[in-house]
């Protein structure tokens, strides 16, 4: 098996091929376009068995991965720290595109259980919409802070309810009060209020669209107490297929709920994992907090842990780990049920998403 490591950039991709013993066989640089990807596939055709390895940077490699997969090649993703470790242990000093590409290939040879790339499914649409909604919410929050200071300057006695600037009734009442005011501050406040209403309309529309997608793709996931539409959308979009994880423990490591062992000797100790996918971790934390308020079985579990000597924070972490296992099972259940042959709606969603891709690249003879 020949492994081709790829150092991907916006303009060009550098490829280095190594054999199963790590010896360098060749090097090639192609442009980061469909035509350049085709040249890479043709160049790789000189070896009978080829596997591609790319550094795990989806914004740079997503299009490249898609073209390589459609050409029939296997693509694995190498974490940045694994590539950096392989580069530091190499004989050639310095840093360049060929050195990085060779380090990616060597890391792929050393690590047998790297994640394998797949074509994007319907959950990518959920991720894109969820991320876009999050960006709009952040923009609205910043805008509301500025608007509140202007309102305070115009009328210190004007009280705007907490989170009131996301409600149409409050926005309309403020617009009516600002309509008769003159001056630059009032004009800026009116402009910010108009923009706030526009953002609220877009955010609510995205939430409705996400609700339809999540109800179709993850009904079992939505049935978990404490997990709403937005949390389920975050989990679906970031997980990108639970079947790619070999066990619930691997999924827990992915989302950062699995503790890190830090012991030597006979006493087993662990510490908090601050890594992992923080978006999924946040969704699990929100579900755990909601359950502790009496929605679902989480409150009884947390109370039992607190009575046994755990702190509330430690109990929440253990509940979050238990929720990770339940979410993993629910994701697998939904993925098995949401096959194109069984669920026409899911098939239509997947087909509509796949139609946005380019046509497959021809395989070099």
What pLDDT digit, counting tens, does each position of 29-45 carry? Answer: 999 999 999 999 999 99
The whole-number average pLDDT for the span 117-138 is 90
Classify residue 91 by burial, with Cβ atoms within 10 Å: 0-12, 13-18, 19+: exposed
Q: What is the pTM assigned to this prediction?
A: 0.78
Residue 50, pLDDT > 50, answer yes
pLDDT value at residue 364: 39
Query: Nearest to residue 158, comparing CAs of 142, 141, 181?
Result: 181
Rounded to an integer, what distance in angstroms lies between the CA atom of residue 58 and that of residue 65? 9
Contact partners, residue 325, CB within 8 Å, separation at least 6: 248, 252
pLDDT at 358 (0 to 100): 38
Which of 123, 27, 120 is CA-nearest to residue 65? 120
Angle at 257 between CA 254 and CA 262, to 5 degrees: 100
Token duo for residue 290: 């909601």
Region 260-284: mean pLDDT is 82
pLDDT at 136 over 70: yes
pLDDT of residue 340: 60
Q: List 12's β-bridge partners, or say none.
A: 31
**CA-to-CA distance for 105 and 32, rounded, in angstroms?**
19
CB 354 within 8 A of CB 314: no
**More confident: 269 or 324:** 324
- Bridge partners for 54 per DSSP: 6, 77
Predicted local distance difference test score (pLDDT) of residue 360: 40
What mean pLDDT do residues 269-297 have? 88
Alpha helices for 71-183 (secondary structure H): 80-88, 97-110, 123-154, 168-178
Residues 49 and 2 sit within 8 Å (Cβ to Cβ): yes
Distance between terminal CA atoms of the chain? 18
Nearest by Cα to 332 from 257, 253, 247: 247
Q: What is the mean pLDDT of residues 144-168?
A: 90
CA distances from 348 to 142, 165, 206 (A): 38, 37, 19
Neighbouring-strand partners of residue 18: 3, 24
pLDDT at residue 253 is higher than 80:
yes
Q: What is the mean pLDDT of residues 167-189?
A: 92
Residue 235 has pLDDT above 50, yes or no: yes
Stretch among 60-74, 121-135, 176-190, 339-353 having the lowest mean pLDDT = 339-353
User: Is pLDDT above 60 for 346?
Assistant: no
What are the φ/ψ torsions at residue 4 (nearest 5 degrees)?
A: -110, 110
What is the structure's pLDDT at 351?
Answer: 42
Long-range CB contacts (< 8 A, 24+ apart) of 282-285?
A: 282/234, 283/227, 283/231, 283/232, 283/234, 283/235, 284/235, 284/255, 284/257, 284/320, 284/323, 284/324, 284/327, 285/316, 285/320
Closest Cα partner for 56 from 75, 37, 83, 80? 80
Mean pLDDT on 226-250: 91
Average pLDDT over residues 155-173: 89
Token output for 219 = 């009904």
């Amino acid at each position: 098996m020949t492994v081709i490591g790829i150092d991907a950039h916006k303009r060009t991709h550098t490829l280095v091929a190594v054999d199963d013993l790590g010896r360098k066989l060749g090097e090639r640089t192609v442009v980061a376009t469909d035509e350049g990807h085709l040249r890479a596939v043709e160049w790789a055709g000189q070896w009978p068995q080829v596997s591609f390895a790319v550094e795990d940077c989806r914004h740079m490699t997503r299009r490249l991965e898609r073209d390589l997969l459609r050409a029939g090649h296997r693509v694995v993703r190498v974490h940045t720290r694994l590539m950096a470790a392989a580069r530091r242990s190499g004989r050639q000093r310095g840093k360049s595109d060929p050195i990085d590409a060779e380090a990616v290939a060597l890391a792929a040879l050393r690590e047998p259980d790297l994640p394998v790339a797949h074509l994007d499914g319907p959950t990518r649409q959920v991720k894109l919409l969820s991320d876009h909604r999050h960006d709009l919410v952040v923009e609205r929050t910043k805008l509301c802070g500025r608007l509140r200071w202007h309102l305070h300057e115009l009328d210190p006695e004007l009280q705007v309810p907490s989170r009131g600037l996301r409600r149409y009734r409050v926005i309309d009442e403020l617009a009516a009060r600002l309509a008769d005011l003159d001056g630059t501050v009032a004009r800026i406040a009116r402009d910010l209020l108009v923009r706030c209403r526009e953002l609220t309309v877009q955010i609510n529309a995205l939430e409705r669209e996400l609700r339809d997608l999540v109800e179709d793709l993850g009904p079992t996931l939505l049935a978990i107490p404490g997990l709403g539409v937005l949390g389920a959308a975050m989990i679906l979009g970031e997980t990108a297929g639970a079947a790619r994880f070999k066990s619930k423990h691997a999924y827990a490591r992915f989302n950062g709920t699995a503790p890190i062992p830090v012991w030597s000797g006979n006493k087993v100790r662990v510490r908090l994992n601050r890594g992992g996918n923080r978006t999924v971790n946040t969704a699990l934390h929100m579900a755990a907090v909601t359950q502790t308020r009496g929605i679902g079985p989480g409150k009884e579990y947390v109370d039992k842990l607190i009575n046994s000597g755990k702190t509330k924070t430690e109990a929440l972490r253990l509940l979050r780990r238990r929720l990770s296992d339940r979410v993993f099972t629910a994701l697998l259940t939904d993925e098995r049920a949401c096959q194109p042959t069984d669920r026409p709606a899911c098939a239509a969603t997947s087909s509509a998403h796949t139609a946005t891709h380019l046509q497959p690249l021809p395989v070099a003879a």
